[in-house]
Amino acid sequence: MARGWCVFLMTILLLSSCNAEQPDTASLTIAAAADLMPAFNEIGPLFTAQTGIPVVFNFGSTGQLAQQIERGAPVDLFYAANRSFIEDLAAQQIVDPSSLTVYAQGRITIWTRTDSGLRPQQMSDLIDPAYQRIAIANPEHAPYGQAAREALERSGIWAEVQDRLVFGENVAQTLTFADTGNVEVAIVALSLSVQSNGYWVLIPTELHPDHPLIQAAGIVRSSRYPAAARQFMEFVNGPQGRPVMEKYGFVLPATSQTP
């Protein structure tokens, strides 16, 4: 019996020793607005190749991601499509206020399939009955949907097209609706439009001044790896990340800025 206890204790000590020597390797979980999908799918591997730090992205609508983080989702870093969501989380001390950084401004476009024969040039064109279904991201929780709704309202056509609207859960799903032919036209992010095979035209920023899509990021205070998270933020704003962001149509600040 005594011998059995000795073997048990030695096993525990050995396992404890092994665990103590096991390095705590940083890895990052990043919640990111859906408009960042193409850019971050390029930036992530570049960052890992340079730093050795693995990155996992969770793309979605900014509002839904913010709710998940509020409820304790294990996230290290949050990249929002609207800085107000980051500021709200910082006010609750869920995101570190000192880490808040404006990293880009987004743009919206009118998007159609090239084989549809539809070539809208401006918002007012969408009142044409040929556009039976118009997709936008859900304005209840998606900043790109909020900008789309404001652009429709300021163009004076919201009342005429409201019954034809189809809401995507995020701006990436909204593009999918149009790309698969489930709707005739969609209002989506420029960053998604430039990497697509569709026809698109920019919507003037003057049509959504209340929702200018100023995008900000911040480190979640519960992160186990805040230093690695800050490295990622610096990489996005640095000489390797900025050209990728510009390629997808993001308007970048001269330097990183706090909101």
Annotated binding-site ranges for molybdate: 62, 171
Select from 72, 1, 3 the least CA-distant residue to 31. Answer: 72
- Token digits of residue 19: 């665990």
Contact 103, 157 (CB under 8 A): no
Contact 137, 171 (CB under 8 A): yes
- Token digits of residue 204: 């003037």
Number of residues that make up the chain: 259
Distance between CA atoms of 102 and 248, rounded to whole angstroms? 17
Give the DSSP H/E element, type plus range, for residue 41. Answer: helix 37-51
- Cβ burial of 27 (10 Å; 0-12, 13-18, 19+) is middle
CA 222 distance to own-chain centroid: 20
Given the DSSP bridges, would you call strands 199-202 and 55-60 parallel, antiparallel or unpaired?
unpaired
Given the DSSP bridges, would you call strands 108-112 and 199-202 parallel, antiparallel or unpaired?
antiparallel
Q: Which residues are annotated as a binding site?
A: 62, 171
Distance between CA atoms of 19 and 64, rounded to whole angstroms? 37
